[in-house]
Each structure stands twice: as structure tokens, then as C-alpha cells.
Structure 1
Amino acid sequence: MTNEAIAAQRAPAARAPAAGLPDYMTEVYDWAYVNPRWVRFLDRNAVVSTLLFGNAGRLMRAYLKRIKPGMRVWQVAHVYGDLVQRVAQRVGPEGHFDLTDVTPIQISQARGKLGGIPQAHVTEHDASTWAGSADYDLVCSFFLLHEIPDALKHAVVDRMLSRVAPGGTVFFVDYHRPALWQPVGWLLRLVNHYLEPFAYAMWGREIRDFASNADAFTWHKTTYFGGVYQAVEVRRREA
């Protein structure tokens, strides 16, 4: 056997990219959302809290407090940790929780968490084209927009706004431009440069800028942790 053949046998087998995934998921976010080893490591409350500099709890509470029993809720992507279980439990048996994601392993993670909760439904689907079974009382994007290309940001925001029921709420939690005095901002510049190439758009633009019909809605933004994070509540204007 040649030295090349021996080396080939010893080398770890390359992982084939998951079929049907958007290019940006395999090219940019394989390490975070596709590679099974990293997914198993990252999908923990402690990791989420660390990555969000201890702010995960209050950002999740900002979302959860908007959920009432019996609501119809759509969350546009899986989130690591126990957030999806908490949302499903909060809507209660009279409510309905739809969770969508484009990544098969994220769908598997979500189904593992929600399999015993009958009001929760997990579907592998692109949020930019999701229709759902009816309009929703609450539609939430929890740290998704900074991870997708700008053209897709527009499509996802428009789809979310189109699926909210009259009197309902669209809620975005994501990154924001840090204040100049916030030292975490300098660390995030490095993170964005090497790991999060689509995140800078959240620093230079408002989320409403990604909506085709922003003036049909009211937009209320709250920032956290010296401007590092934002929560934006959106409601349709009354005629």
C-alpha cells in the first residue's frame, strides 16, 4: 500500500454538505448550525448565556412576556437552549406554536425538545416563504436577522409582517450598534469580521429599513447592554 493510500485511510472523512441548505449556511455557519459536533456543544443554556454576555435571560423574557395562553405564535428559527420549550408551554394546550427552520439538524434538535408538547409544530421551511395555517397573534425572530444575507433579511421581514393577525405583534430581538463607550462593541467587530459577515447590517440600518411597507406599521425599539442588543415591537397601524 502506498504512503498516499495509508494517509487517505487515516484522514478523517469529509462531511458532505446537507442537501438543500442555502449556500450561506454551509459556507459561513457550518461551525454553528450544521456541524453535529458543534450543534451538540452549543445547544445549551449556559453557552447561550455566555455568548450573549449574560443578557440571554432578559432578552428571552422580553419575548416570553408577550405570549399569553391560547395565542398562535410563529418563531422563524430554532434557538439554542430551552427557549422553544418555554414558548410552547406558555401558549398552553389551547394555543398553537409553529417553529420553522431551514437546517435539518436544527429541526431534529427542535423536535427532540418539543416532541411531547402537542401544541408545538416543527417544520423544515424557509421563513421567507412560510404561509402557516392561519395568521398569528405573535411572530418572533430571535437573533436570526444578523445571520442571513441582506436580500433575505428583506424577504423574511416582509413575510413576518404579512403573517401577523390584526391586533397582533411582530417581535424582533437581535444585535444593534453598540454605544462608543461599550467595550464589547470592539470585540464584536472582530467576531463580525471573522464569523458573522451579515451582522454589520444591523449596526448601520434599522430593522424597519428591511420592510417594504414599513409605514403601515408602528415600530418601537428598546436597546440593551449599551446598545449591543435591540428588541423591536411592531404592530399594524389601524386604518
Structure 2
Amino acid sequence: MNDLTGLVAVVTGGNGGIGLSIATGIAKAGGSIALWARDSAKSADAVKQLTDLGVKAIALSVDVTDEAQVADAMERTVAELGPLGCMVSNAGTSEATLVADLSFETWRRVHAVNLDGAFLVCREAARRFIAQGNGGSIVVVGSMISRFGGAGQAPYASSKTALLGLTRTLAVELARYKVRCNTLIPGWTRTSLSDGGYQDERTRQATTARTPVRRWADPSEYEEVAAYLADPSLMFHTGDEVVVDGGYSIF
């Protein structure tokens, strides 16, 4: 695993699921963690798990769609933990509704978190990295749905697809500042967000049959790839989509 001793990483939505796995992977490699999430009780439990690994971890209550809260959280993070080394934009939401029945309010609400929130935290990270002048890394958590689409998932799919363009642009703009930017695309994973799909027998069987490893992922399986993507020293690997899906996308 990469050595991230001394690295300070922010993980949005990092108090559970894939986000917590990402934070755990960075922490196991020696990095300090700032969790930005809205559920304070859940964040407290996550911080305990991380500090038990022997690193410093804090949690801040942050709504990533709020520009002022994002800027304030960055100031507080840097003041408490030190210069930013990695930003992981992971916070996301989904509401399953067919397009014909989809309200504009729901469309905008999902985009506000998945796309606007990612833009705000990545912009704040970019500003911080440029000011610091020491390089860094940005990891944006996408979705397989950006490649395949899905019924009832128009706002989720379109917002996750847009993240690919955002991350590629960040990679081009920030390379001169020694900041690497990549998208992590997870496969079918057992989390609270996806539990409805997993519990539906038809969905579980269909997705498992199409996944060559014949199962869904456990969130812990993203720990090592997270540590790799968070490492600012691997600058030549940037602008990429790292797919970790058990072979789903090639089968």
C-alpha cells in the first residue's frame, strides 16, 4: 500500500459506505482524515474507527451544496490538520423516478448534491492547492451508470456522467500545479444507498450474473485503490477513470 504519512485528506460523504472505505484506505496508509458529512452521529462513529487506526481524524458537518459551508470547512480542516493533500469528492444522492414522472425539483435536488457539490469542493481544493504550491490529488467518485444508464435514474446518471468531464478538465488545468485528478468508478457494492437493489432478488441476480466475479463488492475492497489514487506523488497518472467493478463493464 502507498505511504501517505503526513497527507491530509478530505472525504465528503465519508462517514459510511464507499466513502468510509476510501477514508479507511487512506488512514491505513498513514493519512489524516477530515470527514465532511451531514449526519454528525454517524460521523462520530466513523471518526472513532479511523482514529483506532492510529491517525488523526475529524468530522465537520458540511452541506456540500452550500458554497459558504464548503469554504469554511476547508479553512477549519487546514487549521486543525495542516495543508490539504487530497480531496475526495464522494458525497452523492439518488432518487429513482422514470423521466415521464420526474419533477424538475427532484432533478435539481440530485444534481445539486452530485454535480454542484462536487464542483464546489473540487474548486475549493483547486484554489487551496494552487495557493499552497506543493501539489496534491483529487479523486471524484463516479458511477457505472455514467457508462450504461439505468431506468429511473436520469438525474443520477446525468450528474455522474457530468463528473467525468469535470474531472478531466481539472486534470488538464491542475497538472501544471502537480495536482493529479482521477475518477473512481465503483461496481455494484453493498451500501445503504444501494441496499434496495441488493434486496430485490431480480436485480441482485441479474447484476451478479453479469459480473464475472459473481458477487457484489464489499466497501472494504476500495481501500487500497483509494490509497493509490490519493497519492500525490503519482503525478503521471491523471485524467483517468479507474474502474473497480469485478469485470461488470467488460462482460
**What band does the TM-score fall into relative to the shorter chain?**
0.3 to 0.5
What TM-score, normalized to structure 1? 0.48
Is the radius of gyration larger for structure 1 or structure 2? 1
What TM-score, normalized to structure 2? 0.46
Higher strand share goes to which structure? 1
Higher helix share goes to which structure? 2
Q: Which has the higher contact order (CA 8 A, sep 6+)?
A: 2
